[in-house]
């Protein structure tokens, strides 16, 4: 099958999960071409698996100090460039378009009547899963930014809906798990300023904080360890830590739940997906949430024990099987199988 795969490049979560599915689809013999949008090519890391790929401007959401910046988002929007990329995209011979929240491939599929499939956490919100109140604009954007005909939604629990478990990187299924260090805490708050993150955690000198996000180079300042981007290093720190403090995205909390790490989520202000994730996390009893960098909440959370690992199945195996079957109306057959299997 010839597949055009669109990836929203904003943040690392979309790239992380799409990397796993693209690899599996190629292993299964599919011809996969990739479009990455919403991020400059020089800012993309470890994307060799996507070759052949093209990088396009697309659309992205701007943030500042932990809050969505709607004005900057509108200034960044280039409708002329967006429509040009859509109209010029070669889709000859394409059997299926898969979009991980990428608006370019989503719109191309609709304009050219090519079967399309939404892959990712955002597509779980088309079903009855926890959703924050938000406002009409936020809900409309979440559901209509990159819609598709069929939906492979992902969530931490099935909520009795046809959604898949999270996509976990292959390296986190290794049997030779690293020794967990009780005082080691991983911090990933990319929408916050580094100085604010450091101020948030610095008074807890009984713990070693490994801080990722807006960090350009590795450096150690006492019990604060600042780390620049490294997928390998990040996953090693994730395996060794006892807890994770992060924004309320989807992929990292899913990886932490898989490994049994305690979680403290700081949802991005004005972002209904993250607000909904924080709501779901607390409803499920899987972790805590804080609406600001509240030191008292952090102090309480640090005393919490680790949780039992959820050990999710290899989700991409089931999604790839569903895609290859052509039985796209029989979604629940594959979602139920994925939840029944624990690694």
Taking the C-alpha atoms of residue 343 and residue 341, their distance in angstroms, rounded to an integer, is 7
Does 141 lie in the same domain as 236?
no
pLDDT bracket for residue 121 (50, 70, 90): very high
Does 185 lie in the same domain as 143?
no
Does 289 lie in the same domain as 189?
yes
Q: Is 237 domain-assigned?
A: yes
Q: Is 331 domain-assigned?
A: yes
- Written as six digits, the tokens of 316 are 């991409």
Q: What is the DSSP letter of 287?
A: -
Q: Is 329 domain-assigned?
A: yes
Does 103 lie in the same domain as 19?
yes
CATH for 48: 3.40.50.2000
Does 180 lie in the same domain as 136?
no
Helix axes 136-144, 272-284, angle to 10 degrees: 90
- Written as six digits, the tokens of 136 are 């009409």
Q: Judge whether residue 63 has pLDDT over 70.
A: no
Sign of the four-CA dihedral 335, 339, 341, 343: positive
Does 7 lie in the same domain as 52?
yes
pLDDT top residue among 56 and 341: 56
- Written as six digits, the tokens of 103 are 């608006």
Number of domains in the chain: 2
pLDDT score of 10: 80
Give the H or E element holding residue 220.
strand 219-221
Three-state SS for 146? coil
Does 6 lie in the same domain as 146?
yes
Average pLDDT over all residues of the chain: 91
**Mind listing the pLDDT tens digit for each residue in 298-307?**
999 999 999 8
pLDDT bracket for residue 40 (50, 70, 90): confident
Q: Is 307 domain-assigned?
A: no
Q: Judge whether residue 64 has pLDDT over 70.
A: no
Residue 18, preceding peptide bond in cis (omega within 30° of 0): no
% of residues, the chain, pLDDT over 70: 92
Q: Is 205 domain-assigned?
A: yes
Mean pLDDT of 242-259: 96
Q: Poorest-confidence range of 8-17, 289-298, 330-339? A: 8-17
Q: Judge whether residue 76 has pLDDT over 80.
A: no
Mean pLDDT of 125-145: 89
Are 227 and 215 within 8 A, CB to CB?
yes
- Written as six digits, the tokens of 137 are 């604009």
Q: Judge whether residue 243 has pLDDT over 70.
A: yes
Does 285 lie in the same domain as 178?
yes
Q: The domain containing residue 223 runs over which residues? A: 170-302
CA-based max dimension of the chain: 59
Does 283 lie in the same domain as 249?
yes
Q: Is 308 domain-assigned?
A: no
Q: Is 244 domain-assigned?
A: yes
Does 191 lie in the same domain as 134?
no
Chain-centre distance for alpha carbon 40: 18
Does 71 lie in the same domain as 135?
yes
Instruction: Show the DSSP H helices in the chain as ranges.
Output: 13-27, 70-76, 79-88, 103-112, 136-144, 194-201, 231-240, 251-259, 272-284, 295-302, 315-325, 331-340
Closest Cα partner for 22 from 325, 322, 320? 320
pLDDT top residue among 170 and 276: 276
pLDDT score of 46: 78
What Rg value do the Cα atoms of the chain yield, rounded? Answer: 20
Q: Is 198 domain-assigned?
A: yes
């Amino acid at each position: 099958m010839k597949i055009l795969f669109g990836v929203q490049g904003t943040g690392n979560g979309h790239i992380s999960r799409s990397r796993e599915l693209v690899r599996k689809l190629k292993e299964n013999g599919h011809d996969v071409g990739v479009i990455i949008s919403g991020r400059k090519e020089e800012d993309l890391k470890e994307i060799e698996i996507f070759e052949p790929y093209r990088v396009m401007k697309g659309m992205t959401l701007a943030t500042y100090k932990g809050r969505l910046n709607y004005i900057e988002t509108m200034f960044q929007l280039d409708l002329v460039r967006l429509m040009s990329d859509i109209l010029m995209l070669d889709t000859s011979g394409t059997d299926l378009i898969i979009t991980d929240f990428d608006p370019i491939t989503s719109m191309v599929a609709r304009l050219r009547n090519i079967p399309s499939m939404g892959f990712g956490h955002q597509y779980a919100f088309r079903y009855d899963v926890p959703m924050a109140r938000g406002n009409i604009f936020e809900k409309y954007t979440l559901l209509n930014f990159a819609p598709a005909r069929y939906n492979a939604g992902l969530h931490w629990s099935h909520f009795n809906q046809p959604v898949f478990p999270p996509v976990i990187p292959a390296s986190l299924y290794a049997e030779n798990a690293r020794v967990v260090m009780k005082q080691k805490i991983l911090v990933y708050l990319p929408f916050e300023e580094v100085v604010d993150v450091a101020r948030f955690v610095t008074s807890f000198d009984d713990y070693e904080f490994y801080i990722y996000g807006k960090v350009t180079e590795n450096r150690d300042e006492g019990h604060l360890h600042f780390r620049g981007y490294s997928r390998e290093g990040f996953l090693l720190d994730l395996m060794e830590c006892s807890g994770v403090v992060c924004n309320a995205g989807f992929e990292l909390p899913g990886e932490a739940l898989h490994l049994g790490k305690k979680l403290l989520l700081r949802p991005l202000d004005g972002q209904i997906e993250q607000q909904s994730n924080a709501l779901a996390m607390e409803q499920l009893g899987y972790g805590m949430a804080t609406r600001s960098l509240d030191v008292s909440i952090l102090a309480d959370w640090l005393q919490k024990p680790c949780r039992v690992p959820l050990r999710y199945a290899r989700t991409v195996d089931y999604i790839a099987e569903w895609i290859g079957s052509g039985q796209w109306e029989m979604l629940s057959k594959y979602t139920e199988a994925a939840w029944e299997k624990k690694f």
